[in-house]
Amino acid sequence: MDKEDRISALPDDVLLGVIHLLDLRAAVRAGALARRWRRLPRLLTDIAIDVADLIPHPKDIMVAYANATRWLLAPTEHRTIRALRLSFYLAGDPDLLHSIGHAVAESTAERWEFTARTKSDHRAISPRQRGLLGPRFMSFVGACPVAFRQLTSLTLHNLSFRNSDIHQLLDTCERLELLSLHRCASLGGFMSVLQIDAPSSSLVALELHGCYYWAVQLTSVPNLERLICYSDRMDWDICFVVEFGHVPRLRDIKPLRGASAFVQTSK
């Protein structure tokens, strides 16, 4: 018996343990080895699909990513997806993003975590680019509401939002527990206020990393337990205001770094 036959003779649970340790590119390749291996990646119940695993990037990276995601998430009667973690670019044809969203919805994953990445380093992202990426993301949310209703963790990089977008996002993502914003801003300008009024949301943690807001108003976020406000812009002389409304469970507050912070409680 040759080496390939010996490996293929291992029980499914052992082979699944091996595939679980592989990145996206290697898992897809493993599925092409033989008929038995082809079905194994689609039996995984804890799935992480990261666009970074496709480096070096193919020419149409989001086409490759969407194809791999649809293949891995195709419904099968032999599994229930317990956890799903997706990380990809908000780039390419919007239909590609929608196809990923529809694949997530059909997978009925019990927990879904999503990270929206940008191809360029944050220092190369202009305000205009942020202004284009924000509406693109919100269009994605609007086109795939069933998928986003399943979302439990969301990390966004380099997006600019309209004032109503965060409210719409939390209203759609009814199971969302973590919202982590990295260098995000308002379409109204750098010195805008991020207002969160979501009395029915499941939000437990809010993280702001280097975002371009001068204040956060937590009007009503009854399940919020953790707030992180972080800035590495040491050259900015700003006063960051956090206004607390109805946040009865908030206990864990990590203060701002690199700027003065003023906290007040609304009456």
Q: Is the model more confident about 233 or about 204?
A: 204
Number of H helices, E strands in the chain: 9, 14
Task: Provide mean pLDDT across the span 67-83.
Answer: 86
Strand order in the sheet with 192-197: 192-197, 213-220, 239-246, 260-265
Tell me what pLDDT residue 219 has: 94
Q: What DSSP character marks residue 78?
A: T
Per-residue CA distances from 243 to 67, 168, 206, 240 (Å): 44, 21, 14, 10
Tell me what pLDDT residue 16 has: 60
Tell me the per-residue pLDDT of 185-229, one tens digit each, with 9 for 90 and over.
999 876 789 999 999 999 999 999 988 888 889 999 999 999 998
Query: For residues 236 and 230, what is the distance between their CA atoms, to the nearest angstrom?
Result: 13
Q: How far is CA 84 from the centre of its chain?
A: 11
| Residue 114 pLDDT exceeds 90 | yes
Predicted TM-score (pTM) of the model is 0.84
| Residue 237 pLDDT exceeds 50 | no
- Among the residue ranges 43-47, 75-79, 87-91, 237-241, the one predicted with the least confidence is 237-241
- SS3 state at 104: helix
